[in-house]
């Protein structure tokens, strides 16, 4: 099973690395990191990760993983990227995204009329691209699996691992990555965070001010 | 505040990327990825990330972050790496690790007599290096902050963000990365996973068999 993780300038590293850390551990899985051009790709907060192969060489992945991040908007204007998503999607078993990556799937026309998750700040843009926004953390609509922001990709990937390889394998992977989270605060979603914090971050476009 | 993330061959990507995604969002923080030599560093499951600067050029970080992974054992035999940890530690505000990264801190002599977390499969090795193993997910002993396996680095980093920049900043970062986890299984720790699964993974050295 080939898993293609799509990289582009200013994506959010954890959107890819969370799911990769889970999915790469499925027996028989091979992950390929791909971008318009091979080479280092800079993420939004500075880390660079390597795209091993250009999109043109990744033609038949079984699973596509699309991250989000501040670069999503620019990526929506890159025809090579949207064309690739449209070209490979018919052959996938799963087409997936984390965070605002669902905007790219929707922008490629793959989520029309489908329910999809996204980062809470990006959800409102999904209808403009034909998708039906959901505030769920993980949304499966047919083979289209989408996650909420950043860290939600770990939950998505464990869910997919269960569907792909069975619960026993997914349970084992969850223990390998020791995923028994203990978030120190209760502010991980707009449903539980104070409205004032949500508004502060909305106004600042997610830049954390020195509060 | 300079945060130095130490990279070495066969480390586990999420051990670094989880905390990085949190800590890099602290106002005024700068993250530098460093290794014995600058350039791409291959992680255990295939992804390569870029070390921007060699250890020799990172001489006064305020926070050191050491990941774990299958490469930890080999890294324990790299004097340049342990020497660097010993050299920079006196100047740090925080010296931290995720997963089996605590073995490297202990191997450098920095955890002698201190409580430390580690990946559950690595905990038994901590006493051999002078540290006191803890099954807690996040352990703070003075300025030494250690986390359990892989995903526990996110919890560690949010805890540190609160100590460094205050609860309000850490709460904001938790909402930015939408950390309201919903693990699909209850197998994220040895305390909750079936003993048979723990033994299977112990015997296979964490390679997930096609169960």
A21 and A95 share a domain?
yes
* Catalytic pick among B5, B16, B31, B99: B99
Q: Decide the pairing of beta strands B48-51 and B39-42.
A: antiparallel
B33 and B67 share a domain?
yes
- Supply the pLDDT for residue B72: 97
B161 and B104 share a domain?
yes
- Supply the pLDDT for residue A164: 98
B149 and B193 share a domain?
no
B199 and B169 share a domain?
no
- Measured in whole angstroms, the distance separating CA A94 from the mean position of its chain's CA atoms is 12
Of B166, B171, B185, the CB nearest to A171: B185
Give the CATH number for residue A150. 3.40.50.880
Percentage of chain B surpassing pLDDT 90?
A: 99
**Average of pLDDT values for B169-184?**
98
Residue A193 DSSP class? S
Residue A189 DSSP class? S
B109 and B211 share a domain?
no
A174 and A199 share a domain?
no
Ordered per-residue pLDDT tens for chain A, 211 residues: 999 999 999 999 999 999 999 999 999 999 999 999 999 999 999 999 999 999 999 999 999 999 999 999 999 999 999 999 999 999 999 999 999 999 999 999 999 999 999 999 999 999 999 999 999 999 999 999 999 999 999 999 999 999 999 999 999 999 999 999 999 999 999 999 999 999 999 999 999 988 7
**Average of pLDDT values for B147-153?**
98
A11 and A58 share a domain?
yes
Query: What is the total count of domains within chain B?
Result: 2
- Supply the pLDDT for residue B210: 82
- What is the distance between the alpha carbons of residues A156 and A176, in angstroms, rounded to a whole number? 16
Cα-Cα-Cα-Cα dihedral of A159, A161, A162, A168, to 10°?
Answer: -130
Beta bridge partners of A3: A31, A63
Q: Chain A contacts of B26, Cβ < 8 Å?
A: 208
Residue B73 DSSP class? H
User: Which range marks the domain in which residue B31 is found?
Assistant: 2-180
Residue B14 vs residues A18, B59, B98, B123, B127: alpha-carbon distances, Å: 6, 25, 9, 19, 25
A193 and A125 share a domain?
no
A155 touches chain B (CB under 8 A): yes
B91: pLDDT strictly greater than 90: yes
DSSP string, A111-133: -TT-EE---TTTGGGGGGGT-EE
CB A39 within 8 A of CB A51: yes
- Supply the pLDDT for residue A74: 97
> Does the distance separating the beta carbons of A200 and B184 come in below 8 Å?
no
> A54: which residues sit within 8 A by CB, 6+ positions away?
A34, A35, A36, A37, A38
> Which among A15, A182, A207 is the top mutation candidate for probing chain B, defined by the most B β-carbons within 10 Å of its own β-carbon?
A182
Q: Decide the pairing of beta strands B144-147 and B94-97.
A: parallel
CB A170 within 8 A of CB A162: yes
B27 and B54 share a domain?
yes
Query: Would residue B99 show up in a list of annotated catalytic residues for this protein?
Result: yes
- Measured in whole angstroms, the distance separating CA B36 from the mean position of its chain's CA atoms is 17
CB A163 within 8 A of CB A171: no
Give the gap in angstroms from C-alpha B158 to the nearest C-alpha of chain A.
Answer: 7
Smallest CA-to-CA distance from A81 within A106, A55, A58, A99 is with A55
Tokens for A190?
């707009």
> Does the distance separating the beta carbons of B184 and A170 come in below 8 Å?
yes
**Average of pLDDT values for B84-92?**
98
Of B21, B162, B188, the CB nearest to A178: B188
pTM recorded for the entire structure: 0.97
Q: Decide the pairing of beta strands B30-35 and A63-66.
A: unpaired
B191: pLDDT strictly greater than 90: yes
- What does the longest C-alpha to C-alpha distance in chain A come to? 47
User: Sign of the CA dihedral A158, A159, A163, A167?
Assistant: positive
A169 and A190 share a domain?
no
A7 and A68 share a domain?
yes
> Does the distance separating the beta carbons of A181 and B174 come in below 8 Å?
no
């Amino acid at each position: 099973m080939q898993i293609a993780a799509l990289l582009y300038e200013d994506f959010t590293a954890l959107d890819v690395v969370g799911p990769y850390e889970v999915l790469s551990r499925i027996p028989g899985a091979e992950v390929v990191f791909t971008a318009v051009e091979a080479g280092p790709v800079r993420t939004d907060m500075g880390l660079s990760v390597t795209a091993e192969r250009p999109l043109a060489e990744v033609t038949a992945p079984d699973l596509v993983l699309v991250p989000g991040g501040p670069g999503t908007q620019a990526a929506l204007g890159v025809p090579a990227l949207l064309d690739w998503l449209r070209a490979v999607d018919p052959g996938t078993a799963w087409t997936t995204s984390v965070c605002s990556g669902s905007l790219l799937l929707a922008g490629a026309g793959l989520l029309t009329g489908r329910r999809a998750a996204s980062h809470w700040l990006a959800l409102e843009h999904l209808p403009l691209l034909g998708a039906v926004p959901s505030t769920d953390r993980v949304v499966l609509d047919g083979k289209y699996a989408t996650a909420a922001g950043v860290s939600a990709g770990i939950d998505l990937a464990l869910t997919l691992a269960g569907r792909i390889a069975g619960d026993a394998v997914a349970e084992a992977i969850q223990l390998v990555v020791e995923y028994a989270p203990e978030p120190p605060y209760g502010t991980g979603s707009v449903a539980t965070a104070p409205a004032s914090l949500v508004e502060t971050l909305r106004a600042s476009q997610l830049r954390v001010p020195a509060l």
